[in-house]
Chain A
């Protein structure tokens, strides 16, 4: 099993550009979530999903969109990148009522 795979690992965007961060898991997990982690800070929930076709907002959803068309994939779209979105983004997945498995992260810089 590959676990949770995030691509790309690094990305530099110009202000106003859009892009999609990819996340895939091969563990047949129902739940998937996106977090951002700013330097020296904790993890803040952006969006989450409890199954294919179901998504909901987390603590900091503005400027991001998600979709969950399959159990395996949960892409995160930045609509119009801003410097405030410079962060490390983690995707995570889990079974119901168990701990989350995290991907290795995408380090995003918006200039």
Chain B
């Protein structure tokens, strides 16, 4: 089945710096979803991207879906301590069999 590779595995940033995580697939994706998991918590759905080249924003978070629908990125502007956690991308045809990337763990240095 399709697999998505997520990079980097870890990212440590100073508070106020920007952060980006990337998901890459060798095959075309029907859609991609992004989740955030706080330490000790459960994953929380952030957004779904469906269209080629789609860009969506949620406050300081910007999500992009590549033109070829083989990659996606999540960018956080001016990180805050509340952004700490692991960010996962996930993909599946429709919403069946949703599989997750390996995640990027973000830590913030105050």
Binding site for B on A (CB under 8 A): 31, 33, 35, 41-45, 48, 50, 56, 58-59, 90, 92, 94-105
Assess A43 versus B48: contact at CB under 8 Å? Given A31-B95, A33-B98, A100-B98: no
Number of interface residues of B (CB under 8 A): 23
Q: Looking across the interface, which residue of chain B has its beta carbon closest to that of A104?
A: B42
Q: Are B94 and A58 in contact (CB under 8 A)?
A: no
Nearest-neighbour CB distance to chain A for B44, whole angstroms, equals 7
Binding site for A on B (CB under 8 A): 1, 31, 33, 35, 41-48, 88, 94-103
Assess A43 versus B88: contact at CB under 8 Å? Given A100-B45, A105-B42: yes
List 24 A-B pairs, Cβ < 8 Å: A33-B98, A35-B100, A42-B101, A42-B103, A43-B100, A45-B97, A45-B99, A56-B96, A58-B97, A90-B42, A92-B43, A96-B95, A97-B94, A97-B95, A98-B95, A99-B45, A99-B47, A99-B48, A100-B33, A100-B35, A100-B43, A101-B45, A102-B42, A104-B42
